Amino acid sequence: MNGAGTPRVVVLASGRGSNFAALAEAVDAGECRAELVALISDRRKAEALERAHARGMPTAIVPKAKGEDRDAWSERLLEAVRAHEPDLVVLAGFMKVLGASFVDAFARRIVNVHPSLLPAFPGLDAPGQAIAAGVRVSGCTVHLVDRHVDTGPILAQAVVAVAPGDDGATLHERIQRLEHVLLPRVVNAIGRGALVLDPAPRWEREGERAALLEAP
């Protein structure tokens, strides 16, 4: 992913697939340099699968069985993802923690979007955590995935004010609107070579970094 070609991207999603849809729309509009080659879910009824089917994209379902060892499941997931030979793996609302073997196989090539301003409020229900903590601003973070939960290097963030009367659901809805802008921007920066991930994240063109970090 050095700007010489369009990166092949496999998307992992567990739910509605709104971030996948935003990414696909940006690709179709020529605003995101990426080739979406497959969508893989851990849930058979994920709406994201229907969105991918509508685009004629290959899909796969790799559910984690009750009681199954996470590493064993991650190996199965890894096999499914490798079949599509991706340059980049994008977690777009993927609700399972990846095992070490998967993370190591795609080291510095897995991007996640999280609904908080990391390192604040990692893990589940980040908007609810923000409301409970009484913060005045929240937002979303696009970051690299490492072996731990929401601790990888931060690539970009976008900020939203917490409104009076917000609860976790209303705040999350506004954060998701930011995610739908920021995630395609980051993937585009990677695809164009403006953001290099390996061996450590760095920006090759500061002008593009400044534009990316402008409030959506």
114 belongs to the catalytic site: yes
Q: What is the chain's mean pLDDT, rounded?
A: 94
Mean local confidence (pLDDT), 79-93: 98
User: Which contiguous run of DSSP H or E holds residue 173?
Assistant: helix 168-191
Whether the pLDDT of residue 3 is over 80: the answer is no
CB 38 within 8 A of CB 57: yes
**Could you tell me the residue ranges of all domains in the chain?**
8-212
User: Which residue among the candidates 114, 143, 172, 180 is catalytic per the annotation?
Assistant: 114
> For the whole model, what pTM was predicted?
0.94
Strands (E) in the chain, as ranges, are 8-12, 35-41, 59-61, 88-91, 110-114, 137-144, 154-161, 195-196, 202-203
Give the CATH class of 8-212. Answer: alpha beta
- Give pLDDT tens digits for 89-133: 999 999 999 999 999 999 999 999 999 999 999 999 999 999 999
